[in-house]
Structure 1
Amino acid sequence: MAHTNDHSGHDHTGHDHGPGHVHGSTDKKRVLIAACLTGGFMVAEALGGILTGSLALLADAGHMLADSIALGLAWYAFHLASRPATVRLTYGFGRVKTLVAYTNGIAIFVIALWIVYEAWERLQAPAPVLGGPMLVVAILGLLVNISAFFVLHGGDRESLNMRGAILHVLGDLLGSAAAIVAALVILATGWTPVDPILSVLVSLLILYTAWSLMREAAHVLLEGVPPSLDRDLIARDIEATIQGVREVHHMHVWSLDGTSNMATLHACLDEGVDAHQAVSAVKKRLASEHGISHATVEPEFGQCADDGDEHGHQREALQHPGHFH
């Protein structure tokens, strides 16, 4: 059996695996601006919440405190991602952005639960709220959050790290809007329970979006197949379009950070086929038709070298997609 491995062009220290290089620099600046805006107003909003007795303002200030820290982490993640790969970290630091996005999701989740608890306590023991000053602080907070949101909104929204940053600011924006509504109701009717009730409604919305972010980031960290791709259909496409490729198996498709897709696979070739040309054709097909920017293709003739090992069932899995995803 002739068995060759083509790994040409796979020196990871020389390859560009870091996604988002087109947006990376501008996204980094956007996140830093948003962090400064959020952190700067957080102190004023916290003081306003204490002076007016508004849970909505305190809740939004709590969001802004956590968000300024989270945005700082997001900025640092972009900073790390720009570093080149090393001998020990052959893919570079691109996945740090996904890890930060997951951490941000957890932070948002915890904060939202804390707000729900505080709102329950406030409903059990209502406290007076100064509607006028609360309205002024809430409006200023809304303007700051709108500014931060538009700064981030122009970034790369396919990046999980950027989406996590936007989610933090969106939570702050909704919190400020809820505080404004609560202040208007209190000024008009004097009904203070609206303050914790609106805080809970905003928290429930944030919980849902935070869970979605955490789930997507976890999928990337677990090296799941990107939602936009179908591993089995890609394998069938290669077999049908690349001349000389008899079968594709042992195929793995994953994403480094939610934007850069990667794959490894075994390509079983017909006898006499030029292995180098076949591998090159497979890589070009993966890049042009399936958006897979980096692939490692192992050409084979005859029996697979890995048959009988712990991964041997993947050949059958590709033939029966319902058994392996």
Structure 2
Amino acid sequence: MAHSHQHAARNLAVAFLVNLAFVLIEIAGGLWTNSVAILTDALHDAGDGLSLGIAWYLQRLSARQADARFTYGYRRFSSLGALTTGVVLLIGLIVVVWGAAGRLQNPQPVYAPGMLGLAILGIAMNGGAAWLLSGGTSLNEKVASWHLLEDTLGWIAVLIGSAVMMVTDNYLIDPLLAIGIACFVLWNVARNLYQVALVFLQHAPSEFDARALDELFAEIPGVIATHHTHTWTLDGERHVFSTHLVMQAGTGREEIVAAKQQVHELLKSQQFDHVTIEVELVGEQCGAEVPDAHDHD
């Protein structure tokens, strides 16, 4: 696990430095070519750079063990970073779309050959960084890889648009590209923010079926029913689980231990870092006062 964290952190560090260097090149190139499309992508890349920087830091932070302040560990910090970066990107891209819309009414000439050169460089650098992260297993690496892939696709669009402008001098293509790239990114950022919101709202993991699990638990010898089955995800990868098993009156310690072991076996295929199992014998008062939507006998 430690080696995996170190490998992920190293990949994110390299991708962050590559992205940061290219953002500076991109800003200078956008001003040089007078291209709002390139400046739009520079803002997007700056957001990605912030995201990669936060992901790099949080990848290292998430390796910390639980302590008295964060008893479930530090994994959820990565979701906080994704939320912050997503909101920054949304605000920035809305501003850029507003500016590009103004250029639709008043198109300005751009230096298309310069845009073409920057597009080739952008495809090479962003594509290389995306390839570096493509084999990662952590959520941070996967999300960062998707952002960089978006960048590469955006630069392919700029490459095609600049080639067309070199032939036709139709400078409306530049703001149209800017709006198209921004809308594409806005859609994907909003989709990612939706997933982050589900994490903070303690939504059950998508593959989790509480009722199906309760039915399996009820088949365990000595278990009569289950209730208060709950689960939520810490960061989209590692989850928390708890349930109450109701067992027959007079059940002995060995049977209780065996039932708990079977629950752990049933959960082994899913990424649960924290599992809590409470056992109640028939006739005992349940410690949870208020039943919820998952409760069923």
Taking structure 2 as the reference length, the TM-score comes to: 0.92
CA drift at 1:293: 4.2
Cross-structure match for 1:17:
none
Structure 1 residues 181-192: aligned runs within 5 Å: 181-192=160-171
In 1, Cα distance between equivalents of 2:3 and 2:243: 28
Map of 2:233 onto structure 1: 255
Alpha carbons of structure 1 residues 261 and 46: separation in structure 2 relative to 1, 3 Å = same
Native 8 Å contact 1:265 1:297 kept in 2: yes
* Structure 1 SS opposite 2:268: helix
Partner residue in 2 for 1:115: 96
- 1:170 is aligned to 149
Match of 1:224 in 2: 203
AA of the residue aligned to 2:183: L
Give the Cα–Cα distance (whole angstroms) in 2 for the partners of residues 176 and 98 of structure 1.
Answer: 28
| Paired residues of 1:105 and 1:164 also in contact (CA < 8 A) | no
Query: Is 1:264 aligned to 2:242, yes or no?
Result: yes
Paired with 1:141 and 1:48, the residues of 2 have a C-alpha distance of 11
Matched, 1:318 2:295: yes
Q: Which structure is higher in RCO with an 8 Å CA cutoff and minimum separation 6?
A: 1
Distance 2:284 2:197 in 1: 32
User: What one-letter code is carried by the residue in structure 2 that aligns with 1:189?
Assistant: T
Structure 2 CA distance for partners of 1:22 and 1:208, relative to 1, 3 Å: farther
Deviations 1:47-83 (A, max 9, x none): 1110111111111111222221221011001010011
Partner SS, residue 319 of structure 1:
coil
| Alpha-carbon distance, 1:31 to partner | 1.1
Verify: 1:298 aligned to 2:278, yes or no. Answer: yes
Q: Which amino acid aligns with 2:222?
A: G
**2:90 maps to 1:95:** no
RMSD: 2.0
Question: 1:183-218: per-residue Cα shift (whole Å, max 9, x none)?
Answer: 111101000010111221122221221122111111
Superposed, 1:25-36 pairs within 5 Å as 25-36=6-17
Q: Deviations over 1:133-161 (max 9, x none)?
A: 1211121112111111111111116x1x3
- 8 Å Cα contact 1:287-1:293 kept in structure 2: no
Contact 1:247 / 1:268 at 8 angstroms: preserved in 2? yes
Q: For 1:234-253, what aligned pairs fall within 5 Å after superposition?
A: 234-240=213-219, 242-253=220-231
Q: Equivalent residue of 1:318, what SS?
A: coil
Q: Which residue of 2 aligns with 1:233?
A: 212
Matches within 5 A, 1:53-92: 53-92=34-73
Per the alignment, residue 186 of structure 2 pairs with 207
Q: 2:26 aligns with which of 45, 62, 76?
A: 45
Deviation at 1:121, TM superposition (A): 1.3
Pick which of 297-306 and 120-129 moved more: 297-306
AA in 2 matched with 1:106: V
Q: CA–CA distance in 2 between the matches of 1:197 and 1:308?
A: 58
Q: 1:28 to 1:308 in 2, by over 3 A?
A: closer
Q: Aligned pair 1:148/2:126, yes or no?
A: no
Q: Per the alignment, do residues 114 and 304 of structure 1 end up closer, same or farther by CA in structure 2, a change over 3 Å counting?
A: farther
Q: Does 1:282 align with 2:259?
A: no
Q: Do the aligned partners of 1:104 and 1:164 also contact (CA within 8 Å) in 2?
A: no
Amino acid at match of 1:259: E
Q: Structure 2 unaligned runs (5+)? A: none
Q: What is the CA–CA distance in structure 2 between the aligned matches of 1:59 and 1:132, rounded to whole Å? A: 18
State the 1:180 CA deviation: 1.2
Contact 2:131 2:145 in 1 (8 A): no
Taking the aligned partners of 2:292 and 2:74, their CA distance within structure 1 comes to 32
Contact 1:265 1:296 in 2 (8 A): yes
Quote the residue 2:113 is aligned against.
132
Cα distance between partner residues in 1 of 2:158 and 2:292: 57
Matched-pair identity in %: 30
CA–CA distance in 2 between the matches of 1:37 and 1:303? 64
Question: Separation in 1 of the partners of 2:146 and 2:85?
Answer: 9
Amino acid at match of 1:249: H
Aligned partners of 1:59, 1:82: CA distance in 2, in Å? 35
Q: Say if 2:159 is the partner of 1:180.
A: yes
- Aligned mates of 1:283, 1:176 — CA distance in 2: 48
The alpha-carbon distance between structure 1 residues 294 and 308, as it changes in their structure 2 partners (threshold 3 A), is: closer
Tell me, in whole angstroms, the C-alpha distance in 1 between the residues paired with 2:26 and 2:288.
64
- CA–CA distance in 1 between the matches of 2:177 and 2:292? 53
